[in-house]
Amino acid sequence: MTGTHQTGNGQRSSANPLNILKAGLYITATPIGNLGDITLRAQETLKNVDFIACEDTRVTAKLLAFIGTNTKMMAYHDHSDARVRDRILDKIEAGFAVALVSDAGTPLISDPGYKLVADARARDITVTTIPGPCAAIAALTLSGLPTDKFLFAGFPPNKSGARQTWYGDYNQLKASLVIYESGRRLAASLADAAAVLGNRPVSVSREITKKFEETRTATLSELAAIYADIDPPKGEIVIVIGPSVKEEDISKIEIAAEEILGKALKHMSTKSAAAFTAELTGAKKRDLYQKALEIEKSRD
């Protein structure tokens, strides 16, 4: 059995001969806020499949009403019983065309679908895609941060300790880091990222494609302070954190940080000097504090 299929739309002879779509699983992206972003192919697909596997039938019903179709729907989640997956895949093997959608954006991206596609591949079932909106990609393009290399990390853990460990895994990453986060946890999450990754450039995009779309850019510490001072922002949020700086730049920053620290120690306490230097250089406060202790010891 090979893993290669000819994909794309075309005529078929199937359980439903009037249908213009070949049997298969159609991964179909939907808008992330602005219904006008539904693509022509997504509309054609959702109108012509035999049924749509979706996260929440009430949410998808609104989209179907917007495009003027009443295609049958069935609920699907990755935690659905394996029998539900089998039932969908049996139908496709019997000749049905089935679309997979999530509530918004691209299915499988922090959304259900991975297990269904994996099982479809294992059964050599045709899988094809109707690409479209994805909040992670939209936010990356809005961020002004490097787009040549990026890593999508999904949602961080809810609790601060686990979140810091999670951010720590990306400490050496030489690529932009794209994260989904809730408004309620935004300020704390940015502060945890700053504590672990240093004071890197960041962008926070909210309500992309919607009426109150906004993107703020600054450093992690600056945005953490701004969001800690206001009510948690409403709506949906993507954070993009700039890559860790190059090795040669790190040594330049370290030299500059040491000079600033040395001077600052003449005017303020060890703790304040470390905090002040961290703010100016983006170097880690903890490391600077240790360095400050060493400098003071050598001066004694």
Positions in the binding site for ligand SAM (CB under 6 A)? 32-33, 102, 104-106, 109-111, 134-136, 180, 205-210, 236-238
In the complex with ligand SAM, which residue's Cβ is closer, 129 or 209? Answer: 209
What whole-number distance in Å separates Cα of residue 106 and Cα of residue 222?
31
- Taking the complex as a whole, how short is the minimal distance between the CB of residue 56 and ligand SAM, in angstroms? 11
- Taking the complex as a whole, how short is the minimal distance between the CB of residue 180 and ligand SAM, in angstroms? 3
Q: Strand 176-182 to strand 236-241: parallel, antiparallel, or no bridges (unpaired)?
A: antiparallel
- Please classify residue 3 by burial: count the beta carbons closer than 10 Å to its beta carbon, then call 0-12 exposed, 13-18 middle and 19+ buried: exposed
In the complex with ligand SAM, which residue's Cβ is closer, 203 or 205? Answer: 205
51 forms beta bridges with 72, 98
What whole-number distance in Å separates Cα of residue 130 and Cα of residue 4?
18
In the complex with ligand SAM, which residue's Cβ is closer, 31 or 282? Answer: 31
- Taking the complex as a whole, how short is the minimal distance between the CB of residue 30 and ligand SAM, in angstroms? 9
The full length of the chain comes to 300
In the complex with ligand SAM, which residue's Cβ is closer, 123 or 210? Answer: 210
Q: For ligand SAM, which residue has the nearest CB?
A: 105
In the complex with ligand SAM, which residue's Cβ is closer, 237 or 240? Answer: 237
DSSP 8-state class, residue 105 = B
- Taking the complex as a whole, how short is the minimal distance between the CB of residue 41 and ligand SAM, in angstroms? 16
Residue entry with tokens 């906004």: 214
- Taking the complex as a whole, how short is the minimal distance between the CB of residue 241 and ligand SAM, in angstroms? 14
- Taking the complex as a whole, how short is the minimal distance between the CB of residue 158 and ligand SAM, in angstroms? 13
Q: At a CB cut-off of 8 Å and minimum separation 6, what does 234 contact?
A: 183, 212
Q: Which two tokens stand for residue 215?
A: 């993107």
In the complex with ligand SAM, which residue's Cβ is closer, 213 or 287? Answer: 213
Q: Which two tokens stand for residue 31?
A: 């808008």
What whole-number distance in Å separates Cα of residue 299 and Cα of residue 63?
70
